[in-house]
Amino acid sequence: MRKNFFIFGILFLALVATIYYKTERGFLLVIILPILLVVGLYNIIQKKHAILRNFPVLGYFRYLFEMIAPEIQQYFIERSTDGKPFSRNQRSLVYQRAKNIDSNSPFGTQLNLNHSSYEGIKHSIFPAVVNKELPRVIVGGKDCKQPYNASLLNISAMSFGSLSEHAVRALNIGAKKGQFYQNTGEGGLTDYHLEGGGDITWQIGTGYFGCRDKDGNFSPEKFSEKATIPNVKMIEIKLSQGAKPGHGGVLPAAKNTVQIAKIRGVEPHTLILSPPSHSAFSDPKGLIQFVAQLRNLSNGKPIGFKLCIGNTAEFEAICHEMIAQDTYPDFITIDGAEGGTGAAPLEFADGVGMPFEPALIFVNKTLVSLKIRDKMRIIGSGKIISGYSILHAIALGADMCNSARGFMFSLGCIQALRCHNNECPTGVATQNKMLMKGLVVTDKSERVYHFHKNTLHAANELLAAAGKKNFADVDINIFMRGDEFAHLSDLYFPDNLKNVTQY
């Protein structure tokens, strides 16, 4: 191929030059062909890319097609029910609800309802009246001095740095209008989280960004300074997240701008890896003591922790330590192994951690068996994107839900799968100023508000269809599974799972 490239390339160049000499036509080819020959010569000499050594010019088409493969897959190949991690139908549902337009679908379902993986709600012949008010949940246990009246659906943890400043501002303004909270993610509490006036759950990760000393350790003074800000309604200790449990956070160097580095207290333009574990504690006893410390430093605001379940015995040990110290978190956020992230090693994303459903069931079952379920709330955070997924999480044991990717879609995310390289085409997950300008805060904040409102309204409609008046009445028995019409309780822990949301 290399020999043919030069033989035919030189002959063609000679032919074009002759034609140009006699007719003065083909000037561009006379310029372009020598350039291609030089590029081809370089590729034959270089030793890094085998494809380009063997196919000096045509080899570039391989890289071109590889670069646009996600777009080709999404726009020309996948069906409406395909697409990972979210199908085209799921994305379209969010877009329509965010735009506050008709989200009904025509001509019936596209799913195979007779497949064993199908899950459905056992509707009541006598539906209840649909609630007009959007559901809320009080968060705050016996030691909490400032309980928080939270929405049933809120924005899950996404850091400034992973998200653009426009995205963070739009989310917060939408949260303010819809009266729900925005979780800061472990990247720290910033002015962009506060300027919209929306409620905030401040997440404290292993890097202690925003509350760390010069050595990167937890600073009680800096924490107290921000934890007492009125907009901060709850504080969440991040133990692990679904997409990369046991790995720590990742901020690519391309996203670590001077501004972000200043906020986090790190060196700019460097890869930032949050440690896998906390330095403020190293065992269940230390964790529960840290919960008490943060509650005291925040003047009694709700304190909780987030984790992806791995070794179940470790969670049980944490629960026993709660009882021993008579100190309980106000909430526990459960993330599933299928959770999303901007950047994670594939081995962690695909092969570490317990999926959301069994994790949620296990946590709820454990708290119930130890008779401490009524002392805290459970927040479900695993691919929550619709009213159905909310009801499903409540049935498995959650009191309320967080959604990250659902709200990203409401901002305009198209699932381009470029979160990790600073090239998000919609300006959601990038620090590129040019791309960021495409996200208009005033418009997208309205979409955030409408997505939240319309999704909770859909959850209310499903609740009524099941014949229930309150989400507290929901249990696993309202669901059936596939052509077997079996309860979901037959799938996970069938001997122990009875009405899992009851204390």
pLDDT at 253: 81
Q: Is 80 exceeded by the pLDDT of residue 270?
A: yes
- pLDDT attached to residue 118: 78
| Mean pLDDT value of segment 418-443 | 88
Query: Which pLDDT does position 305 carry in this prediction?
Result: 97
Over residues 250-274, mean pLDDT: 80
**Highest mean pLDDT (candidates 90-94, 152-156, 428-432):** 152-156
**Lowest-confidence segment of 365-369, 379-383, 445-449 by average pLDDT:** 379-383
Q: If you average pLDDT over residues 433-440, what whole number do you get? A: 90
174 near 448, Cβ under 8 Å?
A: yes
Please check whether residue 428 is in contact with residue 164, taking contact to mean a CB–CB distance below 8 angstroms.
Answer: yes
pLDDT in tens, 296-349: 999 999 999 999 999 999 999 999 999 999 999 999 999 988 877 666 777 877
Q: Choose among 132, 150, 181, 115: nearest CA to 448.
A: 181
Mean pLDDT over 231-236 rounds to 98
Distance CA 488, CA 486 (A): 6
Taking only the tens place, the pLDDT of each residue in 142-195 is: 999 999 999 999 999 998 888 999 999 999 999 999 999 999 998 889 999 999
Specify the pTM.
0.83
pLDDT higher than threshold 80 for residue 285: yes
pLDDT at 341 (0 to 100) = 67
Is the pLDDT at 210 greater than 70, yes or no? yes
pLDDT for 25 equals 66
* pLDDT above 80 for 105: no
Q: What are the pLDDT digits (tens) for 6-34?
A: 666 666 666 666 765 556 666 566 677 77
- Structural domains of the chain, ranges and CATH numbers in brackets: 2-67 (no CATH), 136-468 (3.20.20.70)
- Give the mean pLDDT of the chain: 86
Q: Which two tokens stand for residue 75?
A: 């726009």
Looking at per-residue pLDDT, the higher value among 47 and 159 belongs to 159
> Does 119 score more than 70 pLDDT?
yes
Block residue for tokens 């009851």: 502
User: Which has the minimum average pLDDT: 34-48, 415-429, 464-478?
Assistant: 34-48
Do 290 and 222 form a contact (C-beta atoms < 8 A)?
A: no
Task: Tell me what pLDDT residue 149 has.
Answer: 98
* Closest-CA residue to 172 (of 193, 143, 147): 193
Contact by Cβ (8 Å): 300, 146: yes
Tell me the C-alpha distance between 126 and 128, whole Å.
7
The percent of residues above 90 in pLDDT, for the chain, comes to 51
Q: What angle do CA 218, 238, 302 make, to 5 degrees?
A: 85
Confidence at residue 252, expressed as pLDDT on a 0 to 100 scale? 75
Pairing status of strand 136-139 against strand 119-121: unpaired
Count of positions (residues) in the chain: 503
State mean pLDDT over 415-420.
80
Helices (H), 82-210: 88-98, 165-178, 191-194
The whole-number average pLDDT for the span 442-464 is: 96
Q: Which 8-state DSSP code applies to residue 375?
A: G
List, as own/partner pairs, every contact residues 287-291 make where C-beta atoms lie below 8 angstroms and the sequence separation is at least 24, other chains included. 287/237, 287/239, 287/318, 287/321, 288/318, 288/321, 288/322, 288/325, 288/327, 289/325, 289/327, 290/237, 291/237, 291/327, 291/329
Indicate the pLDDT class of residue 417, thresholds 50, 70 and 90.
confident
- Does residue 117 carry a pLDDT above 80? no
- In 3-state terms, the chain is what percent helix, strand and coil (to 5)? 45, 10, 45
Give the per-residue pLDDT at 175: 97
Res. 464 pLDDT band, cuts 50 70 90:
very high
- 119-128, 190-199, 482-491, range with the lowest pLDDT: 482-491
Contact 131, 460 (CB under 8 A): yes
